[in-house]
Structure 1
Amino acid sequence: MIWKFVLVLAWLTTLICSTMCSSKGGESYVHDACSVTRYQDLCLHSLASFSSTAKDNPSRWARAGVSVTISQAKNVTQSLLKLRKHNFLKGRGRVAILDCVECLQDALDNLHNSLGVLRKLGTQTFNDQMGDVTTWLSTALTDEDTCLDGLEDKKRKQVKLLLNQVTNVSYMTSNALALVNKLATTGPQCLENS
């Protein structure tokens, strides 16, 4: 009877240890990936779910960074479009919302272009592709900053919320750019395991 108890205890200890070790490894992957980003807490929060698939592959982390940014930018663009429909702003505020929608749609185009290239990276064209992706992500950041600059009425609750959302997207884009830069410095050899 005691040997069964010892056996079960040993099995449970092994199971707990392996679970803790594997989750620690996953946590380590996301920490390593996000270590190059400017907004590390946001990076850790937005990319933690990719640890088991991206592991230590810079190409996968770059794709994940751009993917989550696209998702967030789409959500913010939808919020802007809803605000535009409700006509809560008049005059310059309304024009700023319309301009911001256009800027975020341009940013989304650049983010989609980046993700498309990241999905088709090749060893022969790697450096040119990295140059394109870096340019598109930098342009997306500029578009987001232009949106932020246009929103002047910071006293209104809806505008403050919108500013926070667009700022969050720009931080995520900055993190994605950092992950792409890490991929670029790693070089095409990391594509073998992508």
Structure 2
Amino acid sequence: MARDALTLSLIFVSVFFIPTKIESTTVAATNPATNFIKASCRATTYPVVCVQSLSVYAPTIQRSPRQLVQTALSVSLERAQSTQTFVVRLTKFRGLKPKERAAIKDCLEEMSDNVDRLSKSIKELKSMGQARGKEFIWHMSNVETWVSAALTDDSTCIDGFSGRALNGVPA
């Protein structure tokens, strides 16, 4: 049980770092799977976004911490890929200043790293099977490292657009 809480808190801290349009979902408040998702999302940085993003997957998640984590990572990967595509489009804008072009280029590299790290995290979770003890800790340490690095990549991308040089908000 403690490892499930550790897993959930680890993943949910990082799962919703890429802002996207959220489609509204209608799920009965008494649904045990939805209640499980809501309770799990309370520990996240953005609980409303967490619930909105995962509630649609309630039938798949049920009340499985492992399925919740896998789904959260899959949603994050999908959003990271979407963001990467968006940043690629930004590179094609004409009239960009050199500093803007450099920030976009750096961000694209960070997004590429994000996609890679989230993909590795998903594969690691799938490959760990029913690992226990030291083997479980080793697998989770890998996931934690890659998810933490993805968060850092995201922050680095955002920081590249802040400050006076790009008319952003000072970091």
Q: TM-score range by the shorter chain?
A: 0.7 to 0.9
Quote how far apart the aligned CAs of 1:121 are: 1.9
Q: Distance in 2 between matches of 1:56 and 1:27?
A: 8
* TM-score normalised by the chain length of structure 1: 0.65
Quote how far apart the aligned CAs of 1:54 are: 1.0
Structure with bigger helix share is 1
Q: Distance in 1 between matches of 2:28 and 2:109?
A: 46
Residue-by-residue CA offset, 1:110-144 (whole Å, 9 max, x unaligned): 11000111112232421100000000000000111
**1:139-158 equivalences in 2 (<5 Å):** 139-152=149-162, 153-154=166-167
Q: Distance in 1 between matches of 2:118 and 2:28?
A: 36
Quote how far apart the aligned CAs of 1:86 are: 2.1
Find the counterpart in structure 2 of residue 130 from structure 1.
Answer: 140
Larger Rg over CA atoms:
1
Find the counterpart in structure 2 of residue 34 from structure 1.
Answer: 41
Runs of 4+ in 1 over 3 A off after TM superposition: none
What SS does the corresponding residue of 2:31 show, helix, strand or coil? helix
* TM-score normalised by the chain length of structure 2: 0.73
Cα RMSD for the two superposed structures: 2.0
Gaps of 5+ in 1: 1-18, 161-194
Q: Distance in 1 between matches of 2:95 and 2:127?
A: 43
Find the counterpart in structure 2 of residue 53 from structure 1.
Answer: 60
The structure, 1 or 2, with the larger RCO (C-alpha pairs under 8 Å, 6+ apart) is 1
Match 2:72 to one of 61, 65, 73 = 65
Count of aligned pairs: 137
Cα 1:71–1:154 shift into 2, 3 Å? farther
Identical aligned pairs, as a percentage? 30
Gaps of 5+ in 2: 1-26
Find the counterpart in structure 2 of residue 4 from structure 1.
Answer: none
Find the counterpart in structure 2 of residue 102 from structure 1.
Answer: 109
